[in-house]
Amino acid sequence: MLALRFDQSYQRHQDAFSIFRAMLHLPGRVTVPGPDRLEVNLDRPDSEKVACALENLVADLNREQAHLLGNGPVLTFCLSQVNKNPLPPYPLS
């Protein structure tokens, strides 16, 4: 059902399901900011179109306050930028 939310960005259902499946393999981190909250921080995909579709999905999930297993902790999703720690610039000689 969540994969169908990608239909706003993709015209073919096969594309939406492929993107959703790829999202499940994104690296990320889960933190516990409180006793009834989990924060899921996913690394932003390289593809701009995929990232845009994922941002829309994350916004919808956050707006609806998704819960883990129905009545568990509230899940908050966010996307982090790729290369948070870019390589330092080379010194100019």
7-21 pLDDT, tens per residue? 565 666 666 677 777
Tens of pLDDT, residue by residue over 26-80, are 888 999 988 899 998 999 888 887 788 788 888 888 898 888 887 889 989 888 8
Query: Is 53 buried (19+), middle (13-18) or exposed (0-12) by CB count in 10 A?
Result: buried
Which residues, 6 or more positions from 22, have their beta carbon under 8 angstroms from its beta carbon? 45, 50
